[in-house]
Amino acid sequence: MKTISIVGTGLIGGSAALDLRKAGNVRELIGVDQNPEHAARAVELGLVDRILPLQEAAAVSDVLLVAIPVSAIQKLLPSLLDMLPPQAVVIDLGSTKSLLCEAVRQHPNRAQFVAAHPIAGTEYSGPTAALEGLYQGKMNIICEKELSSEHALHTAQEVFSTLGLKTIYMQPEEHDKHVAYVSHLSHVSSFLLGLTVLDVEKDERNIFTLAGSGFASTVRLAKSSPDMWAPIFEQNAHFLSHALAEYIKHLQRFQECLQSGQTQELYQMMQQANQIRPVLDGIAQVSPVVK
Amino acid sequence: MKTISIVGTGLIGGSAALDLRKAGNVRELIGVDQNPEHAARAVELGLVDRILPLQEAAAVSDVLLVAIPVSAIQKLLPSLLDMLPPQAVVIDLGSTKSLLCEAVRQHPNRAQFVAAHPIAGTEYSGPTAALEGLYQGKMNIICEKELSSEHALHTAQEVFSTLGLKTIYMQPEEHDKHVAYVSHLSHVSSFLLGLTVLDVEKDERNIFTLAGSGFASTVRLAKSSPDMWAPIFEQNAHFLSHALAEYIKHLQRFQECLQSGQTQELYQMMQQANQIRPVLDGIAQVSPVVK
């Protein structure tokens, strides 16, 4: 039986709390949250049993799951490792890994830390967005595994199996490069599509009368929280900027073909894009659509 | 009791056929399809009762619903109106309207034609993609209403109410401009996102291991049929190219901010994009997600 602290009681931390409690081998779930409203809501919703300041939570916890914006993780990690009792384990669930790993690479307590990223989420945020089963069947990436102690890795693996996550290992740079393409770029494309259409709508009444489920699907991620995503984009600026340049290049090529009437070329680009089908069928298998 | 021909027995025509039959006031549903496999499949699936060549179908039908690629509609419409008996009505369901309306604007039988666009669909195509209830609660646009006869409009309205569509009226150019932003641009952004990520994947093994439901949602439309979409993009090149230019401009601005570390600016862009939330909530109400 473990005492587990959830640092950041939002969608990511709150969803983990729900499934850890459901699995039944938790002594106590402690919430840590700077936002008093979120803290109160997390207790009210039964995500955590009580709220403690970080230092007190660290003193009594076997595991601390850190699920706050990545800029805040970067600042918090060194001081959290400073105050950590010897047997406690810190696991971060942030969507970037290079800067977070770098922030504690030389820390004397680095071995007590596991750098992780479960690939799961929705466009909603805060304690009320917490969902049972969010992590079930999803992928999880642990970075710089070799810098974590056996005990820390074993503890983290217990938590991740309880959540139903399937863990693979990568180096932080490799992780950040890949997620720039398959996660961060989708978010940028969606945010900017939303913004583009909203800008046009200022001059054109009722444009949204014509929006259907295709538009809704493509622009869904534009509902995501800037508090969470601005720091992710900032931390992954190098790889994301590269991905964005590739995307813009493809869009410009498409626009050229469109303007010069090269329909055959457009057709071929779409046909190539269709090869995403088996990939999406694979994702559908591991990641049932979350409401 | 009416005899209705479905010209093009794919997702759009086939779905209409399913609901028209279910409503029960159809004497016979006739399929017209150039593709013999689709034609056979449409009969097998019970979408239509039998297959006829276009000329024979036109001779015996009260209504012909035309649901083929827009380039094919443009070619077909004049000759279809040529061969049409006086009481028959032709309704097209194409996703562009300017060129289609122009193709028959001066035709002596123009009054027998209704130019329509029901805002509904999925990323799948062909007779097997036909879905009951696809149109239920969705929007439908009729263009150049003033050029259709009372009889044609009344007949079309009967069909559209049976399908559960809510009809509004627009001029073709206004229609094409609006759908460029809220439908065609989403498709382009999705096709090109898919292509960009597939291109990177050639050099990077296992990139898709990290793709989650957010990526799947944003790139879903990249599964759409090039046979259907290349002609739509071609016919709406003017407005779509303009929409694409706006989108690229927004992406470039975002990339600049990313590269120069203007996180506050990125934050504001995302916050503005968040204003899409009430719009999407509105779409969710009229358009339940189709599996």
DSSP string, A150-176: HHHHHHHHHHHHHHT-EEEEE-HHHHH
Confidence check: pLDDT of A231 > 90: yes
Q: What digits encode the pLDDT tens for the residues A189-219?
A: 999 999 999 988 777 766 788 888 889 999 9
Confidence check: pLDDT of A243 > 90: yes
* 3-state DSSP assignment of residue B4: strand
**CA–CA min distance B256, chain A (Å):** 9
* Residues of chain B contacting residue A272, judged by C-beta atoms under 8 Å apart: 195, 198
* Residues of chain B contacting residue A185, judged by C-beta atoms under 8 Å apart: 193, 196-197
Residues A236-264 have a mean pLDDT of: 97
- What phi, psi does B261 have (nearest 5°)? 70, 25
Using alpha carbons, select from B3, B16, B13 the residue that is nearest to residue B61.
Answer: B3
Residues pairing with A138 in the sheet: none
Confidence check: pLDDT of B253 > 70: yes
Looking at residue A207, its pLDDT comes to: 75
Q: In chain B, whose CA is at the least distance from the CA of A197? A: B181
* Residues of chain B contacting residue A230, judged by C-beta atoms under 8 Å apart: 263, 266-267, 270
Burial of A206: CB neighbours in 10 Å, binned 0-12, 13-18, 19+: exposed
Place of tokens 């009969």: B43
* 3-state DSSP assignment of residue A282: helix
* Residues of chain A contacting residue B189, judged by C-beta atoms under 8 Å apart: 189, 193, 218, 251
- CA–CA dist B221, A273 (Å, integer): 10
CB contact under 8 Å between B200 and A254, yes or no, is no
* Residues of chain A contacting residue B190, judged by C-beta atoms under 8 Å apart: 218
Positive or negative CA dihedral for A236, A237, A238, A244? Answer: positive
**CA–CA min distance A278, chain B (Å):** 10
CB contacts < 8 A (A, B): 325
A25 vs B226, higher pLDDT: B226
DSSP-derived pairing of the beta strands B63-66 and B89-92:
parallel
A247-277 per-residue burial string, b: 16 or more CB within 10 A, e: under 16: bbebbebbbebbeeebbebbbebbebbbebe
Which residues make up the CATH 3.40.50.720 domain(s) of chain A? 2-170
Kindly report the CATH number that applies to the domain delimited by B2-171.
Answer: 3.40.50.720
What does chain A come to in residues? Answer: 291
**CA–CA min distance A25, chain B (Å):** 28
**CA–CA min distance A247, chain B (Å):** 6
Burial of B40: CB neighbours in 10 Å, binned 0-12, 13-18, 19+: middle
**CA–CA min distance B1, chain A (Å):** 32
Confidence check: pLDDT of B207 > 80: no
Confidence check: pLDDT of B282 > 80: no
CB contact under 8 Å between A197 and B191, yes or no, is no
Looking at residue A205, its pLDDT comes to: 65
Q: Which of A230, A277, A283 sits opposite B211 (nearest CB)?
A: A283
- CA–CA dist B95, B110 (Å, integer): 19
Strand order in the sheet with B139-143: B50-51, B26-32, B2-7, B63-66, B89-92, B113-118, B139-143, B166-170
Confidence class of residue A284 from pLDDT cuts 50, 70 and 90?
low
**CA–CA min distance A46, chain B (Å):** 27
Q: What is the mean pLDDT of chain A?
A: 94
Confidence check: pLDDT of B287 > 60: no
* Structure tokens given for B240: 């779509």
* Structure tokens given for B224: 């759409």
Q: Which of A206, A212, A223 sits opposite B183 (nearest CB)?
A: A212
The letter for the amino acid at B169 is: Y
A interface mutation test: which of B272, B280, B291 has the most A CBs within 10 A? Answer: B280
- A275 and B195 in contact (C-beta within 8 Å)? no
A interface mutation test: which of B168, B215, B250 has the most A CBs within 10 A? Answer: B215
Looking at residue A208, its pLDDT comes to: 80
Residue ranges of the alpha helices (H) in A61-171?
A: 70-82, 98-104, 150-163
Confidence class of residue B238 from pLDDT cuts 50, 70 and 90?
very high
Confidence check: pLDDT of A25 > 90: no
Confidence class of residue B209 from pLDDT cuts 50, 70 and 90?
confident
B interface mutation test: which of A188, A204, A232 has the most B CBs within 10 A? Answer: A188
CB contact under 8 Å between B252 and A248, yes or no, is yes
Please calculate the CA angle B121-A260-B184 and round it to the nearest 5 degrees.
20
CB contact under 8 Å between A216 and B251, yes or no, is no
Q: Which of B192, B254, B255 sits opposite A254 (nearest CB)?
A: B192
- CA–CA dist B213, B235 (Å, integer): 32
Residues B30-54 have a mean pLDDT of: 98
Using alpha carbons, select from B68, B32, B24, B63 the residue that is nearest to residue B50.
Answer: B32
* Residues of chain B contacting residue A261, judged by C-beta atoms under 8 Å apart: 234, 237
Looking at residue A288, its pLDDT comes to: 43
Low-confidence winner among A56-70, A223-237, B143-157, B194-208 (lowest mean pLDDT) = B194-208
Place of tokens 């939570």: A57
CB contact under 8 Å between B213 and A179, yes or no, is no
- A139 and A118 in contact (C-beta within 8 Å)? yes
Looking at residue A291, its pLDDT comes to: 34
Q: Which of B214, B237, B267 sits opposite A226 (nearest CB)?
A: B267
Strand order in the sheet with A63-66: A50-51, A26-32, A2-7, A63-66, A89-92, A113-118, A139-143, A166-170
* 3-state DSSP assignment of residue B206: coil
Which residues make up the CATH 1.10.3660.10 domain(s) of chain B? 175-286
Confidence class of residue B48 from pLDDT cuts 50, 70 and 90?
very high
- CA–CA dist A21, A46 (Å, integer): 10
Q: Which residues contact B196 (CB under 8 A, 6 or more apart)?
A: A181, A185, A243, A246, A247, A250
- A244 and B251 in contact (C-beta within 8 Å)? yes
Using alpha carbons, select from A56, A97, A96, A98 the residue that is nearest to residue A80.
Answer: A56
* Residues of chain B contacting residue A204, judged by C-beta atoms under 8 Å apart: 177-178, 181
* Structure tokens given for A18: 């729900």
Confidence check: pLDDT of B128 > 80: yes
Q: What digits encode the pLDDT tens for the residues A267-278?
A: 999 999 999 998
Could you list the beta-strand ranges (E) of B67-137.
89-92, 113-118
CB contact under 8 Å between A283 and B123, yes or no, is no
Q: What digits encode the pLDDT tens for the residues B77-127?
A: 999 999 999 999 999 999 999 999 999 999 999 999 999 999 999 999 999
Confidence check: pLDDT of B205 > 70: no
Q: In chain A, whose CA is at the least distance from the CA of B288? A: A213
Q: What is the mean pLDDT of chain B?
A: 94
A interface mutation test: which of B93, B166, B191 has the most A CBs within 10 A? Answer: B191
Looking at residue B45, its pLDDT comes to: 98
- CA–CA dist A241, A243 (Å, integer): 5
- CA–CA dist B144, B152 (Å, integer): 12
- CATH architecture of the domain with residue range A175-286: Orthogonal Bundle (1.10)
* 3-state DSSP assignment of residue A3: strand
Which residues make up the CATH 3.40.50.720 domain(s) of chain B? 2-171
- What phi, psi does A229 have (nearest 5°)? -85, -30
CB contact under 8 Å between B270 and A226, yes or no, is yes
Is the domain spanning A2-170 CATH 3.40.50.720? The answer is yes
Residues A251-273 have a mean pLDDT of: 96
Distance of CA B177 to the CA centre of its chain: 15
Using alpha carbons, select from B227, B259, B219 the residue that is nearest to residue B38.
Answer: B227
CB contact under 8 Å between B183 and A210, yes or no, is yes
CB contact under 8 Å between B230 and A287, yes or no, is no
Confidence check: pLDDT of B291 > 90: no
- CA–CA dist A27, B125 (Å, integer): 53
Q: Which of A181, A197, A217 sits opposite B217 (nearest CB)?
A: A217
